[in-house]
Structure 1
């Protein structure tokens, strides 16, 4: 799907799959290029009603409505996450559940600006001019140990408690969000994904696939489909969700729309 906004047009693809092991897909996503909003929520496995948490989060994000500026968009987004967090806390208390929560990763764009917002280990990457970068930083015990120099990034991939999350929506009374922001550039390709993807693919493999996601009507969706297909080929032990967003200058020749 290609949609043009004032400064950039965006080719968006999205795919989700339950995987090879799970029977329930607790991942949810929202794709609203008309609002400049893309997000993935991953219901926390091992806790009650993970799919309820992720569904609630994306439903509230989807209600943001048109923003008048980048600060307005970010404020609207934060408001929806605060509401979602409060509702999940109330639901957990009323049902006697320990935790009803989900991780979150989102990309927001307005005019020439972008912001990345996250909580947990769902990720956002960017491919720019051949350079591939993880814009988020996992909120996990393993990442904290890497930051402290206790283990290496390579050791973190097989660390016994690598899936222990230190932040998520619905876990504490006030949602703990992290932010990065900057300027968009023509040719940027963003990837938003749940950890079901990164648990099976190395960053270099993701980057190679994103390099084929040129801003065309088929490029972003084809990249999503290839990433999920590779994950399934490798066993897909978790739900996997992928969104790809490719940017190009406004005014470029229009492409065929693809839903």
Structure 2
């Protein structure tokens, strides 16, 4: 466990973009509970907005956990409740609706990322950006199987087809990664409206050169200037050495047994 006292500074923005009439994205910035989330709804009409909002509304009720296992249990419980609510809405409307989710939990020198769909979590460390999450998309599966190249993936006609999302089935498929946090780390959570217009290198450059608020606003303006073909949501979390910002809460590790 990292013995250095850590702190964080975070900010989030969301915009409908230049083409869409409705913003079906939602996000949550809850530093008091060590939780940051983005969600990208889908389903047509206003159903996508309802799906992403359901996820955020349920996760916002987590409150202050008594322990790391309690926090993880609360997160999973709220996401399960959101999934059930979205399923009920789908059945009542006779359509399939759902939402991606990408979440960061950060406590006591540790981080945990959980996601479903193609919303992403990036980590910028030592002047290098890496994608912590892995897209749940048809094109990613083809890449993993070696059936298409990275260059082909950029123009693949079904590159935005999502293979996992909250609300589309009774069971939720969530991937998970965890690790140690170091002072100077920067986490970026985003929906695909950002990565459709901005490269990883540009995300890194914006994030390291400004405060979370300024970086989020700069990235948003870049997306809009380039046409903003989708809703865009960005949440940025900068890790300090504990002298400024709010302290990170207890370890996220799940208890054994």
- The structure whose RCO (Cα within 8 Å, separation 6+) is larger is 2
Alignment of 1:126-165 (within 5 A): 126-165=123-162
2:188 is aligned with 1:191? yes
For 2:141, what is the secondary structure of its paired residue? helix
Report the counterpart of residue 84 of structure 2 in structure 1.
86
Which residue, 200, 212, 216 being the options, matches 1:224?
A: 216
CA change 1:201–1:108 in 2 (3 A) is same
Alpha-carbon separation, structure 2, partners of 1:192 and 1:41: 10
- Count, aligned residues: 243
Quote the Cα distance in structure 2 between the aligned partners of 1:43 and 1:34.
25
Shift of 1:133: 0.5
Q: Partners of 1:8 and 1:154 in 2: how far apart?
A: 39
1:7 is displaced (CA, Å) by: 3.9
Partner in structure 2 of residue 107 of structure 1: 104
CA RMSD of aligned residues (A): 1.6
**Structure 2: which 5+ residue stretches go unaligned?**
247-257
Deviation at 1:253, TM superposition (A): 4.6
CA distance in structure 2 between the partners assigned to 1:234 and 1:89 by the alignment: 35
CA contact (8 A) 2:125 2:185 kept: yes
Indicate yes or no: 2:66 matched with 1:68. Answer: yes
Per-residue deviation, residues 83-134 of structure 1 (Å, max 9, x unmatched): 111111112112222x121000010012121100000000000001112100
Structure 1 residue 82, shift from structure 2 partner: 0.8
Q: Kindly indicate whether residue 174 of structure 2 is the aligned counterpart of residue 177 of structure 1.
A: yes
Query: In 1, Cα distance between the equivalents of 2:244 and 2:140?
Result: 43
Distance in 2, matches of 1:43 and 1:17, equals 13
Whether 1:238 and 2:235 are equivalent positions in the alignment is no
Structure 1 stretches of 4+ with a deviation exceeding 2 A read: 45-48, 68-72
- Cα-to-partner distance string for 1:28-57 (whole Å, 9 max, x where unaligned): 001001110000010015476000000110
Q: Closer, same or farther in 2 for the Cα pair 1:45/1:90, shift >3 Å?
A: closer
Q: Name the CA distance, whole Å, in 2 between partners of 1:158 and 1:38.
A: 31
**Separation in 1, partners of 2:79, 2:186:** 25
How far apart, in 2, do the equivalents of 1:164 and 1:254 lie?
39
Question: Aligned partners of 1:82 and 1:154: how far apart in 2?
Answer: 37
What is the rounded CA distance, in whole Å, between the counterparts of 1:51 and 1:92 in structure 2? 13
Aligned residues of 1:115 and 1:180 also touching (Cα < 8 A): yes
Contact 1:187 1:248 in 2 (8 A): yes
Which residue number corresponds to residue 216 of structure 1? none
**CA-to-partner distance for each residue in 1:141-189, whole Å, 9 max, x for gaps?**
0000110111122321211000100000001111110000011111110
Q: Cα deviation per residue 1:179-228 (whole Å; 9 max; x = unaligned)?
A: 00011111110000000000111111111111214xxxxx0110001111
Q: Which residue of 2 aligns with 1:39?
A: 37
